[in-house]
Amino acid sequence: MSRHSFLEATLQGFTRAVSKALQSEHAATQPGLLQQLDPRVRVLGIFALVISVILCRRIEAIAAILLVAIAIAVASRVSPASLAKRVWLVVLGFSGVIALPALFLTPGVPLFVLRYATLHLTITVQGVRTAVLLVLRVETAATLTTVLVLSTAWTHILKALRSLHIPAEIVIMLAMTHRYVFLLIETANQMFESRKSRTVGTLSGSERRKMTARTAGVLLSKSIELSQEVYLAMLSRGFRGEVRLLTDFRLKARDYAGLTAFLFTGCVAVWMGR
């Protein structure tokens, strides 16, 4: 292990996070299906599909919505490989752990019996169906929301939410959180680079842990201080609780057609998934 392995790994992680953010912003400017629609239509349409996924009780209906989500992603210039790395594998690992007990705890027709010494675990058909339904539902909802975020600028999503009468406090918290994530990443990157340039010799495990704790404490202190300064600067510039953008949203014929298609697809999926 190299003497700067911890610092280098941390810097590489920050770099990858910024790189993914830049890729997301780039995808939002590409000519695609969702990019041509009004942001309000995108938010409402994706929300309608997510609601339909929640209401569906049949695996076939949810799988159909997942195929629709993949088709929308491809038409919106969002790579399925990117979705696999960002969403599908991560969600599969997380939701799979949650759904695993359902294989053994759901009563029903036995499908397979695991025997080890005195331990007997029975996997039922109903348990497999319940687990698959949970994982597929989470995968589909996560795919839809990720496609929305990747194909729409974050500021446009926030303005669309505000246009749909989401409370201003929630929209502002989302906007500030999004901005502070990148600001803290940049600050932490600078701190680690500074520490790396001043580190001589090999650091022991305890020294690396102490350095990480001190860095996290300084970063937290800076973030609190910066939040106060930013808030006072916003007040001095006339901020009164409402975020405004220069971009105006105007609905066109294709927007109405797109919203109708989203709602129709959602209703059909709910009807099929009863």
pLDDT digits (tens, 9 = 90+) for 96-118: 888 888 888 878 787 777 777 67
| Residues 43/160, Cβ–Cβ less than 8 Å | yes
Task: Give CA separation, 227 vs 183, 217, 234, 239, in Å.
Answer: 11, 15, 10, 15
User: Are 123 and 257 contained in the same domain?
Assistant: yes
Model confidence at 4: pLDDT above 70: no
Model confidence at 58: pLDDT above 70: yes
Model confidence at 49: pLDDT above 80: yes
- Cβ neighbours of 206 (radius 10 Å): 8
User: Are 95 and 228 contained in the same domain?
Assistant: no
Helices (H), 152-252: 154-163, 168-197, 205-236
The arithmetic mean of pLDDT across residues 1-27, rounded, is 59
What was the pLDDT predicted at 143? 93
User: Are 12 and 147 contained in the same domain?
Assistant: no
- Domain count of the fold of the chain: 2
Which segment of 14-18, 152-156, 205-209 scores lowest on mean pLDDT?
A: 14-18
Domain containing 45 equals: 32-152+252-274
User: Are 180 and 261 contained in the same domain?
Assistant: no
User: Are 7 and 36 contained in the same domain?
Assistant: no
Q: Average model confidence (pLDDT) for the chain?
A: 81
Rounded Cα distance, 186 and 193, in Å: 11
User: Are 145 and 256 contained in the same domain?
Assistant: yes
Predicted TM-score (pTM) of the model is 0.78
Write out the two tokens for 27: 């995808």
| Residues 219/20, Cβ–Cβ less than 8 Å | no
From 133, 128, 157, 149, select the one nearest 66 (Cα to Cα): 133
What was the pLDDT predicted at 26? 65
Model confidence at 41: pLDDT above 70: yes
- Residue that wins the pLDDT comparison between 157 and 214: 157
The arithmetic mean of pLDDT across residues 70-95, rounded, is 87
User: Are 63 and 140 contained in the same domain?
Assistant: yes
What was the pLDDT predicted at 21? 60
pLDDT digits (tens, 9 = 90+) for 143-184: 999 899 888 888 888 888 888 888 888 888 888 887 777 777
Side-chain half-sphere of 257: how many Cα atoms within 13 Å?
Answer: 7
